A and B are shown apart, each in its own frame.
Chain A
Amino acid sequence: MNKLFKNLNTLLGIGVLTLGSALGELPKFNHVTITVVGDAGQNMESLNKYADDFTKAGISIKQVGATFTGLYDKLKTDFVAGSGDYDMVIFYPSYIGDFAGNGYLAPLDDLMKKTPASVWDPKLDEVEPPYREIYCKWNGKVYALPYDGDVLELYYRKDFFENPQEKEAFKQKYNRELTPPASWKEWLQVAEFFTRKQGDTLAGQKLDHPYYGAGEYGARGFSYGWFLCRFASAGGIYFDENMGPLINTPAAVEGLQNMVDSLKSCPPDVLSYGYEELKNAFLNGDIAMVVQWSDVGKKTADPQLSKVVGKVGFALVPGTEVNGKVQHRTPMPVGRVLAVPASSKNKEVAYWVAKFLSLDKSPITVAANWSGQDPYRVSHFTDPSHYKFPDDVSRKEYLEATEANLKVGFPDLNIPGAAQYIDALDLAVNKALSGEADAKSALDAAAEDWKGITERLGADNQKKFWKEALTSYRAAGLLQ
């Protein structure tokens, strides 16, 4: 019965899709070649998968692959040299201020309004607000279309959290029910609870190796994102109205201290954990909970990669109690958007390709396991049939949790100079994690660095940029 239902669902899904692409008519261009640059691998795979459609539309695409960590260098080098080699760029939206603010990108508003709407309208109104307002727009104009809705998410071992013995033991110890942590305070408790020595028992099984309650992104590069989880949910925001840094407020220090304390319940080498290591620790079944990007959810269901298929629960990233109420803000590090460089000679075609990927094909792309893309549109959550999960409950839970996190998404800093501010912050977080400095002095130092960066980049200009950013934060509902 269940199987029949699934098949039906798939059939229906396909039906809806063909209908969908029939509605989005293919325009006809006159054999144009455009050059697309992005981080190679899964994020450019859709260019191959949909090659037939591009051919039908009279477009051939030349791909230039960059590395994940080298994408910014490659794009900015090209922009600074003013070369105009690229027609469409895939990049991380925290650089939208840098790229659009410096005039490297073409505004898209006029192209979006072209008729017929079925060909040109990217339907931005159904993109989740933080994504639309902060990652796609700059200074009130649209410069980019969404492509990959990265957001963090809480993953936990449902089988352990539901184990009666564990539940009982937890209740004995902490005098409350064992649930996925709603707040970072609870996170510490649960993490501590599940941390076991070799030879201890876990859910009735004797452990032949130590077990850890939690994992954090400990390596340099993105450790700031896991700090932002705490910082943003406590109501933190990067700067005040006058661009005075707010990253060393007492709440911020408390948040960083929480992350430092969490390390006690993490694997001993967690400071070398980047995306790959942190993901594998969870997929190997070595830690009880982890906060990770939303694509990891799809990977937990892949039996080739995951030893925990069907044992995973999905939830909102923990929050912080503010005035007696737990408030959630889930960071959205990285992500990807599509934009057209101002120097491109094929703007119209490039824009259409971007729109085609961002809208028409996106329901397939975000669900597929050949892609790295994550959902970002309301419609991505209404039709879940393309997702491969062992059971409908997991699929439903995964999508609900992803959408819930996206709704309270907290974007990366996106003003020009973001790379510098974020590097200084990440260094501070990493110093505190490694014990080189305590949380307060690390963040104080970062705040000083931030002031210096603002001065160097021109305080007046930076303030203007930040004001614009604040407007977009309000539009996204992140600030009153």
Chain B
Amino acid sequence: MDVLKWGSLMAFVVLFLFPFFWIVASSLKSRGEFFTRPPVWFPAHLDWSNYPDSLGRGALKGLTDSFVIAFLSMVISLLLGAPAAYAIARFQVGRENLAFWILSIRMFPPIATILPLFVIFRFVGLVDSYTGLVLSYTVFNLPFAIWILKGFIEDLPREIEEAAKVDGARPFQIFRMIVIPLAAPGLVVAALFTFIFAWNDFAYAVIFSGSKVTPLPVVIAQFAGGHEILWGQISAAAIIAILPALVLATFLQKYLTRGLTMGAVK
């Protein structure tokens, strides 16, 4: 049984990491090692220069810009999303309609709103600024955070909250001291993916960025030029781009487990 379990897990890991391995290998190839027959799986000699080169071509600035934007958007989405999710899940504010209106914001294809949003942002000076992008991402992250947290909160047994209420706890205390710790797994999921969505977005970033703010995906996309695609630099930047989100994911997983132990206590 154990063999089967571990065997299939490993099979999945290999399957999911095969493209990742390809990117790692690509990030260490020299210019002539792309699109060859047969493909180069292991570069003849490891060419590390793609890393400093991609950083020099704007990836370093892209990295910091993306981090600031994604992190702020994540924090705001959680700070605003968690209370809203609680109110919707437990107190049915606005019934189903409010929840659905919130979700519909994520349903609407960004293409149709980018142009009017651009005009407005220009008018108030938010194009090519951190605020503009943080705002845009928060708007499409909030529905995600609210709905994910709503699901987790609805799942919590009401009894604990009821008991706290009888003990005289005020509503916000219940939210803060009981609901938040119990919904930790939901918060982990929401935090991780709101970060990732903002970290990886291209559609807004490409239109709203300029000379001051250049998120990483935009920088990477610029490596694919009309006359030359810098495969090595694209791959190196991709590996660099994976790291912060991966560190975050590993760090947050601790709290995924804490949810489990809290659950066991009740």
Contacts and interface: CB of A to CB of B under 8 A. Distances in A.
Contacts of A372: 225-228
A70 B217 CA distance: 13
B224 interface: yes
Contacts of B227: 41-43, 293, 295, 372
A6 interface: no
A189 interface: no
Interface residues of A, number: 34
Contacts of A62: 211
Interface string B227-255: 11110000000000000000000000000
Nearest to A76: B115
B226 A334 contact: yes
Interface stretch (A100-108, A197-205, A276-284, A441-449): A276-284
A68 B35 contact: no
A81 B207 contact: no
Contact of B119 (A64, A65, A81, A85): A81
B130 to A, nearest CB: 17
Interface in B24-53: 30-32, 34-37
Interface in B105-122: 114-115, 118-119, 122
Interface string A52-82: 0000000000111111101001100100110
Given A40-B222, A304-B31, A85 B210 contact: yes
Contact of A43 (B32, B58, B225, B229): B225
Contacts of B114: 77
B118 A68 contact: no
Given A62-B211, A304-B31, A209 B225 contact: no
Contacts of B221: 67, 70
Nearest to A71: B226
Among the interface residues B30, B211, B225, which one has the most CB atoms of the partner chain A within 10 A? B225
Given A70-B221, A304-B30, A39 B229 contact: no
Contacts of A172: none
A80 B115 contact: yes
A311 to B, nearest CB: 16
Contacts of A41: 222-223, 225-228, 230
Given A68-B225, A81-B118, A83-B122, A74 B206 contact: yes
Interface string A35-52: 100011111000000000
A307 B214 CA distance: 37
Contacts of A73: 206-207
Q: How large is the interface on B (under 10, 10 to 19, 20 to 34, 35 or more residues)?
A: 20 to 34
Listed residue (A62, A67, A277, A372) with the most chain B CB atoms within 10 angstroms of its CB:
A67
B127 interface: yes
A209 B228 contact: no
Nearest to B115: A77
Contacts of A70: 206, 221
Nearest to B226: A68
A272 B225 CA distance: 18
A280 B35 contact: yes
B224 A68 contact: yes
A43 B225 CA distance: 8
A41 B221 CA distance: 10
Contacts of B211: 35, 62-64
Interface string B121-134: 01000010000000
Contacts of B34: 280
A336 B206 CA distance: 21
Interface in A202-220: 209
A305 interface: yes
A40 B223 CA distance: 8
A360 interface: no
A128 interface: no
Nearest to A63: B211
A286 interface: yes
B165 to A, nearest CB: 52
A284 B118 contact: no
A293 B228 CA distance: 12
B124 to A, nearest CB: 12
Nearest to B116: A81
A78 to B, nearest CB: 8
A221 to B, nearest CB: 11
A83 B127 contact: yes
Contacts of A276: 35, 229
B222 A65 contact: yes
Nearest to B222: A40
Contacts of A286: 37
B226 A39 contact: yes
B32 to A, nearest CB: 5
Contacts of A77: 114-115, 118, 207
B32 A209 contact: no
A81 B218 CA distance: 21
Contacts of B58: 65
Contacts of B31: 304-305
B235 to A, nearest CB: 14
A236 B190 CA distance: 58
Interface string A13-49: 0000000000000000000000100011111000000
Nearest to B228: A42
A296 B34 CA distance: 16
A227 B111 CA distance: 31
B225 A40 contact: yes
A365 to B, nearest CB: 12
Contacts of A280: 34-35
A281 B148 CA distance: 47
Interface of A: 35, 39-43, 62-68, 70, 73-74, 77, 80-81, 83, 85, 209, 275-277, 280, 284, 286, 293, 295, 304-305, 334, 372
> Which 4 residue pairs spanning A and B have beta carbons closest together?
A372-B227, A41-B225, A40-B222, A280-B35
21 contacts: A39-B222, A40-B222, A41-B222, A41-B228, A42-B226, A43-B226, A67-B206, A73-B206, A73-B207, A74-B207, A77-B207, A81-B122, A83-B127, A276-B229, A284-B36, A295-B227, A304-B30, A305-B31, A305-B32, A372-B225, A372-B228
